[in-house]
Structure 1
Amino acid sequence: MKAQVFSWPMLSRVVAAIFAGYLFTYAFTAALAQLLPGEPRAAMTIATWPAFVVYPLVILWAFACTRVRLVWSGLLLASGALLIIGFWPHLMRAWS
């Protein structure tokens, strides 16, 4: 029996893990930097530290999830919410 070499769901998980995972980590870092007290530069530096743990965990979750659709929807919805939190002050200044 011949082994299956290519799989669209696996490729989708790889793309979700790498690119959507990076977007999620970026949004998480931006949101955390907005929520931390203190000087913005110091908050951004401190918010970057957990990203080294969050990104590998997101990659692991993308492959542990039972459905590819759940991976994509979870990452994109969570990233959208975190991006709104992280960039809300910038959006308000741009709209004013």
Structure 2
Amino acid sequence: MDASQTDKPLRKAKAADVSLAYRLAVTSRIVAALFGGYLIAALTSLCITQWVPMPRADAVVTGMMLSFVAYLLAVIWCFACRTAWRAWAGILLPAAILAAIFALGRWLS
């Protein structure tokens, strides 16, 4: 018997053994990466645009460019954590800090 023929039943058995909890954890990380990453990217862009001492157009372009980096880092963070809870905490805590910084800037101006 060929080695490739013996591997096929093992691959099917491994795929069938994936639990619902694991699938939900991966789904949660995907949602955190997509929507949480977008939230962090948007808030990063707003904060940088508001706080960087540059002409307005340059600040907007700089904020938009750095928001792509923030989104990338958020997605990497979501899949580098050990648990989905840490991924969500690592997304929501910086988002709350960025929102507070943005609100402070709006209040001061």
Superposition TM-score tier, normalisation by shorter sequence:
0.7 to 0.9
Name the CA distance, whole Å, in 1 between partners of 2:70 and 2:105. 24
Check whether the contact 2:41–2:70 (CA below 8 A) recurs between aligned residues: yes
Q: Is the 8 A contact 1:29 1:48 kept in 2?
A: yes
TM-score using structure 1 length: 0.81
Question: Quick one: which of 55, 60, 67 aligns to 2:71?
Answer: 55
Q: Aligned Cα RMSD in Å?
A: 1.9
Q: Which has the higher helix share?
A: 2
> Deviations along 1:37-84, whole A, 9 cap, x unmatched?
022332111111122222122111111111111111121111011122
Provide runs of 4+ in structure 1 moved above 3 Å: none
Higher relative contact order (CA closer than 8 Å, sequence separation 6+): 1
User: Are 2:18 and 1:4 aligned?
Assistant: yes
Aligned residues: 92
Structure 1 spans left out of the alignment, 5+ residues: none
Matches within 5 A, 1:55-94: 55-90=71-106, 92=107
Q: Percent identity of the aligned residues?
A: 28
Structure 2, unmatched stretches of 5+, are 1-12
TM-score (norm 2): 0.72
